[in-house]
Amino acid sequence: MEIRERILNAGRELARLQGFYNMSMDKLAAHAGVSKRTIYRYFRSKEGFIEAVLDEFMEQMAKEAEVARATISEPHLFFAHMSRNLFLRGQFLINNLVLDDLSKHYPHLWQKLDVFRTEQISHTITVLMERTDNRLIKEINPLIFSTMIVACIKAVLNPDFILENQLSFEECVQQMSKLFVAAFYPHEESPGE
């Protein structure tokens, strides 16, 4: 495994266990089995490291979403697939410690994630709307529908809401997925249930 990837993996594991804010470069170096000097060869600062971890996550999720949009036509299957990927690739990100850290200590990085997810969700909703057989959905302006969905996600899947209401990111994603599937299948249980 390449050194940079080993450092990123160690950082994701530490973030999952203790958040980003409590992670020191000394702890990261020890966990990755490299010197602190080696870390600084790849990342200019702790914040630069955190941003690199988030950038890699967003790149992976964007690729996965593109493949899923091209190959999965049913909304409930798309949401299930992307939720699994989010939980698999984003374990370091979706815990309350990291959400709290991003909200309090790295709000500009949370904003970067928010812009990314807004773009991905808007594009996905537009694609799914084009494919649906649901007459009611087809009659809605895609811009209005995707803006409504994004607003719902921003209201629920954000650190403040999750932490203030003592929820988990996973619980919120599962509930939101059910809501979105219900929008595409309003008069029946979603396929597969």
Q: Regarding predicted confidence, which is higher, 138 or 191? A: 138
Mention every residue, 6+ apart, whose C-beta is less than 8 A from residue 169: 94, 95, 96, 99, 157, 162
Under a CB-based contact definition with an 8 Å cutoff, are residues 149 and 125 in contact? yes
Predicted local distance difference test score (pLDDT) of residue 77: 87
Dihedral sign computed on CA atoms, order 110, 112, 116, 121: positive
C-alpha distance across the termini of the chain, in Å: 41
Going by pLDDT thresholds of 50, 70 and 90, the confidence category of residue 190 is very low
Q: Regarding predicted confidence, which is higher, 73 or 82? A: 82
Residue 191 pLDDT greater than 60, yes or no: no
Residue in the block written with tokens 């602190």: 36
* Residue-wise pLDDT tens digits, 79-130: 889 989 998 999 899 888 998 999 899 999 999 999 999 999 889 888 888 8
Predicted local distance difference test score (pLDDT) of residue 188: 53
Mean pLDDT confidence for 127-156: 86
Q: What is the mean pLDDT of the chain?
A: 89
Predicted local distance difference test score (pLDDT) of residue 111: 94
Of 30-34, 71-75, 127-131, highest mean pLDDT = 30-34
Q: Regarding predicted confidence, which is higher, 13 or 177? A: 13
Residue 184 pLDDT greater than 80, yes or no: no
Q: Tell me phi and psi for residue 92, to 5 degrees.
A: -70, -25
* Residue-wise pLDDT tens digits, 151-169: 988 899 888 899 899 998 8
Of 49-58, 143-152, 164-173, highest mean pLDDT = 49-58
Residue 193 pLDDT greater than 60, yes or no: no
